[in-house]
Structure 1
Amino acid sequence: MTAKNNRIVSGMRPTGPLHLGHYFGVLVNWVKIQEEHECYFFVADWHALTSEYADPRRIKGFVPELVKDWIAAGLDPEKCTIFHQSQVKEHAELHLLLSMMTPLGWLERNPTYKEIRQELIQKDLNTYGFLGYPVLMATDILMYKPGAVPVGHDQLPHLELTREIARRFNHLNGDFFPEPAAMLTEDSKLPGLDGRKMSKSYLNCIYLGEAMEDVRPKIMSMLTDKNRMRKSDPGDPEICNLFPYHKILTDAGKCEEIEAGCRDASWGCVDCKKLLVESMTEFLEPMQERRRKLEENPDLVWQILDEGSKKARAQAQENMEEIRDLLGFKY
């Protein structure tokens, strides 16, 4: 990223509460970069329609809950712009314009198209909107002409498609959009409670806003090293589903003690789980306290979104004026 273009754009779909995988895979990075960059973070409610179109009224309720999780995790509206995608109508206009020039083959070769359809087999995703959602994603990014976009390795194909769309627009209409670079972020190192990827659809998550009385039994029932049938059996922390949580949440010195105790069987799995409950409580309680303050003043969340959307829309309107002029649609 050049010193001239310090802008970052990223968003999330409001489809339910956020879990630890979201925090360590996305939010912890957002909190860091807001200190050094001009950041635009948006609630992608139009994107949520790709899978929730059959019952779209649910989305509205998810919007403020998502923002509460963001702010509880450490996003600061004084340091970044938090806005509401559907309240910046220029996104719809630019999406239409970019969709007219995006080759169909680019969308059909999208490697995650089939993957998501297979993962969400309970939903009918044979829609134009689902096939074309990478164009809407490109719109959300290019609208603000950022220098970079924070992405995981699995999202690189989407960003490359955004760059291709930018190049095609510039080739046809003259240079306007920068090609945003990838700001690579590490994937979350936390597995789900059952050892699979942490996912709401697998029901194997610990949520950021979840009360500790609900979190504790989840931890106590987590899978551990399946070779430890008895407490006296030595274990291997590297294949235990619990140990990745300790490596992230528990003091490093204590982790060494846990690892040694597992290998020589001086620590039982129940002991290990009880310690994780303590570490999880220490991690989640400050976040949940910030969330409770927002819940005491629900209008504040909508105020944050309204102010952020006004700021984002002012930038979007300015850019759309230039785009219409380039396309000859400035009447």
Structure 2
Amino acid sequence: MHNSQKTIKKEKILTGDRATGQLHLGHFVGSLQQRVELQHDYEQTVLVADLQGLTDNGHNPHKVSSNILNVVADYLAVGIEPEKTTICLQSAIPALSELTMYYSNLVSVARLQRNPTVKSEVSAKSFGRSIPTGFLTYPISQAADITAFRATLIPVGEDQLPMIEQTNEIVRKLNHIAQDDILVECRPLLSKVSRLPSADGKSKMSKSLGNCIFLSSSEKEISKAVKSMYTDPNHLNIEDPGQINGNVVFTYLDAFHSDSVYVDELKGRYQTGGLGDGATKKILEECLQSILKPIRERREMFMSDKAQLIDILRAGSQKAEEESNQVLNRVKCAFGLNLFN
């Protein structure tokens, strides 16, 4: 006689990255580490968002297509396991584009233009009045991604909260039309670490700004980046008291060093005087080198077998396509577009 156990259904998570470049330390501390942990307790889908990468790179599609496998290799190198996490390609899942079209009829242009995340990114990219339509409708595409997999938990930073709000607006409108809860609302899972600053402390670490320490960065590149990091400009001598706020070295130590008590001790010594910038940078460099060396080596191994990366992406995309088609069929029925069913 076998003991029967009730199967507990895991909550669904959707997350992903635009395929516009290799992933960097900002991604690592902001989301990748979290995904590695979440994959053990949740049903997690990670989307390589190549279509969304084109929204501001339509004039240079090679920037997107050439980085798809780079992003997959980064995922595997940090410990995301395709046996536990579905890794899929946005453009290989037709239902996502079709859902975006249906949802676009439920959202006004004015509503998209009011989205704080869209307004901020449009300003940062200096589009002016030449905003690509795909970029303006980015929140609708994200809503399609989230609802297609019936994801209820979305790891995001605070700057992405308006996207979650807009997704749930679309869910409620569609469910009202269907007179049934065919889509599910989602909630945010906020990142533990805010956006990582660049070495100069003037902006966030960003692929588009070219100020990154990548997961693939060499020892020399890491060393050069740490040595150039902004500290306290008034901390001229070792014995001088130094400022912690705005000091990029300590921001990185907080984010990456495994011993927070030790980091707090360093902060105390720095603030009272007696600890130089060179010493703190050396500690940070040793920390980053130890983290990135094994990731870099695993990444090189995965990139040496691109056929394997394609197979992993194809298998995940096929699984994701089957799941998303089920949601698409429900949405088509809600609009009465199921004549052939």
With the shorter chain as reference, the TM-score category is over 0.9
Q: Give the Å deviation of 1:265.
A: 3.2
Q: Give the Å deviation of 1:100.
A: 1.8
Greater shift, 106-115 or 255-264, is seen at 255-264
| Structure-2 change in CA distance of 1:232 and 1:51 (3 Å) | same
- Preserved CA contact (<8 Å) 2:56 2:132: no
- Alignment partner for residue 249 of structure 2, among 227, 236, 242? 242
| Structure-2 change in CA distance of 1:10 and 1:236 (3 Å) | same
| Structure-2 change in CA distance of 1:274 and 1:165 (3 Å) | same
User: What secondary structure sits across from 2:66 in the alignment?
Assistant: helix
| 1:204 counterpart residue number | 211
- Alignment partner for residue 60 of structure 1, among 46, 52, 65? 65
| Structure-2 change in CA distance of 1:94 and 1:229 (3 Å) | same
Q: Give the Å deviation of 1:253.
A: 4.4
- Alignment partner for residue 109 of structure 1, among 107, 110, 114? 114
1:244-269 per-residue CA deviation (whole Å, 9 max, x = no partner) reads 21223333343244224323432211
Q: Distance in 2 between matches of 1:267 and 1:257?
A: 11
| Structure-2 change in CA distance of 1:328 and 1:212 (3 Å) | same
1:148 matches 2:153 = yes
1:190 matches 2:190 = no
| 2:300 counterpart residue number | 292
1:138 matches 2:143 = yes
Q: For structure 2, which runs of at least 5 residues remain unmatched after alignment?
A: 1-7
Greater shift, 312-321 or 30-39, is seen at 312-321
- Preserved CA contact (<8 Å) 2:23 2:214: yes
Q: Distance in 1 between matches of 2:325 and 2:236?
A: 63
Q: Distance in 2 between matches of 1:26 and 1:123?
A: 31
Q: Give the Å deviation of 1:93.
A: 1.2
Q: Which runs of 4+ in 1 moved over 4 A?
A: 122-125
1:18-42 per-residue CA deviation (whole Å, 9 max, x = no partner) reads 1111111111221111111001110
- Preserved CA contact (<8 Å) 1:228 1:235: yes
- Preserved CA contact (<8 Å) 2:10 2:42: no
- Preserved CA contact (<8 Å) 1:22 1:188: no
State the one-letter code of the partner of 1:222: M
| 1:77 counterpart residue number | 82
User: What secondary structure sits across from 1:8 in the alignment?
Assistant: strand
Q: Give the Å deviation of 1:230.
A: 2.5
- Preserved CA contact (<8 Å) 1:51 1:123: no
| 2:125 counterpart residue number | 120
Q: Give the Å deviation of 1:296.
A: 2.2
Greater shift, 263-272 or 134-143, is seen at 263-272
Q: Distance in 1 between matches of 2:130 and 2:299?
A: 34
User: What secondary structure sits across from 1:209 in the alignment?
Assistant: coil
State the one-letter code of the partner of 1:278: E
Q: For structure 1, which runs of at least 5 residues remain unmatched after alignment?
A: none
Aligned residues: 329
Q: Give the Å deviation of 1:157.
A: 0.7
User: RMSD of aligned C-alpha atoms?
Assistant: 1.9
- Preserved CA contact (<8 Å) 1:94 1:139: yes
Q: TM-score, with normalisation over the residues of structure 1?
A: 0.93
| 1:282 counterpart residue number | 290
| Structure-2 change in CA distance of 1:121 and 1:225 (3 Å) | same
- Alignment partner for residue 329 of structure 2, among 300, 321, 330? 321
Q: TM-score, with normalisation over the residues of structure 2?
A: 0.90
Q: Distance in 2 between matches of 1:238 and 1:127?
A: 38
1:171-186 equivalences under 5 Å are 171-175=176-180, 176-186=182-192
Q: Give the Å deviation of 1:113.
A: 2.0
